[in-house]
Amino acid sequence: MTTLARFDATVRRLGTVLEPDGDPREAEGVLNPACVRAPGGELMLYPRCVAAGNVSRVGLLRNVGAGDAVRFERLGYAIEPSEPYEFRPPGGGGMGCEDPRVTFVPVLERFVMAYTAFGPLGPRMVFALSTDAYHWERLGLVDFATHGLPSGDDKDGVFFPEPVRSPAGVLSLAFYHRPMKHLSTLDGHAAIPAILQLPPTERECTRIAYVPLDAARADVRNLLVPFESTLVMAPDGPWGRLKTGGGTPPVRIAEGWFSLYHAVDAVEVDGRYAMTYSAGIVVHDAEQPHIVRYRSPAPVLTPEHPDEMHGVVNNVVFPTGIDVKGAREFDVYYGMADARIGRAAVSLPPAVAAGNTAAA
């Protein structure tokens, strides 16, 4: 197996595309959106909309801009808190449906949404399905425990669109996830020193979980019962030393599966840690995505714009949606300081030559 010695990309900010409109249900931000093209070709956006008290819903928006312009109309909500695992008492630190990602999975003939339910047990992963990208039905909570996989607090669910091979060689549907340290859900800043003292593989790491394709085809509810999970990105590089997490749904390119992910650094300022969320590129092997062929040695997007540096949570860029514009051209939608939504154009040069590799 070979790795990519380099993987160039150009990232250009296209500005802030969505911010709270005065609706109380967006009082604490509109952020971290999923996006997808509906069957009719229209661009759909599914932001996390946060009301007072950190109560989250998944919005439903459609682009009504002409040409390359984007202007989103609000159609309502794709998912609102309604299940016991999405409710907490007032004053409990928040609740609801957070940070969706949406992938169209052709073998299922469905759009699959993964989102975080924030309820009495803490953050848990939930899947929802749609055939038209407008109407959504919950599938339920993901069950990692049945096959003895890391279970408990978990975030950043993102599906690959096509079947791949698991580490055991089983043709499977795969999704990112990030098991969390329970202490970080209690007080994220206070937990930072303890987390940084851990070996990188014991911090919060990006993993890929697998559901056998035959099981998912036989009964789509089997999507909720992954049978394998493997660590793919630990916070062990020159940046993002606190944690890594899935970002945009992977897109197939010549080199493999391309995605923007997020990673977090912590810097001590005046006796207190401040966190910075940045974005990088990862390329997975096309057939066996647990093999990482490339990972950014430096972030490709860091908080620099005022809307990224100042908001509900300062210094955050958080990529969650990707729209394919051409063979190697993409628009990426990302959260800005947990308050607004930005758009960036990502351009990849022609596919690398076979010689631009190094032995793994």
DSSP 157-225: EEE-SS-EE-TTS-EEEEEEEEE--HHHHH-HHHHHHHHHTS-GGGSB-EEEEEEEHHHHHH-GGGGG-
Question: 320-347 burial, b if ≥16 CB within 10 A, otherwise e?
Answer: bbbbeeeebebbbbbbbbbbbbbbbebe
- Helix, strand and coil content of the chain, in percent to the nearest 5, comes to 10, 50, 40
Considering only CA atoms, which of 32, 19, 26 is closest in space to residue 334? 32
Q: Is 0.85 surpassed by the pTM of this model? A: yes
Average pLDDT, the chain: 94
Cβ atoms of 176 and 211 within 8 Å: the answer is: no
Q: Per residue in 148-165, pLDDT tens?
A: 998 999 999 999 999 999
pLDDT (mean) for 47-54: 97
Sign of CA dihedral 56, 60, 64, 70: positive
pLDDT at 184: 57
Alpha helices in 226-323 (DSSP H): 306-309
Closest to 141 measured CA to CA, from 220, 83, 185, 57: 83
For residue 280, give the CATH number of its domain: 2.115.10.20
Hey, how many other C-beta atoms are within 10 angstroms of the C-beta on 316? 24
pLDDT in tens, 246-276: 999 999 999 999 999 999 999 888 878 889 9
Q: How confident is the model at residue 187, as a pLDDT? A: 60
How many domains is the chain partitioned into structurally? 1
Phi, psi for 339 (deg, rounded to 5): -135, -35
Q: What is the pLDDT of residues 335-358, one digit of tens each?
A: 999 999 999 999 999 986 554 555
Summarize pLDDT for 59-80 with one digit per residue, the tens. Answer: 999 999 988 889 999 999 999 9
Residues 343/45, Cβ–Cβ less than 8 Å = no
User: Both tokens of residue 2?
Assistant: 């070979």
Q: Answer whether 19's CB lies under 8 Å from 340's CB.
A: yes
Give the tens place of pLDDT for each residue, 222-237. Answer: 999 999 999 999 999 9
Domain range for residue 307? 2-359
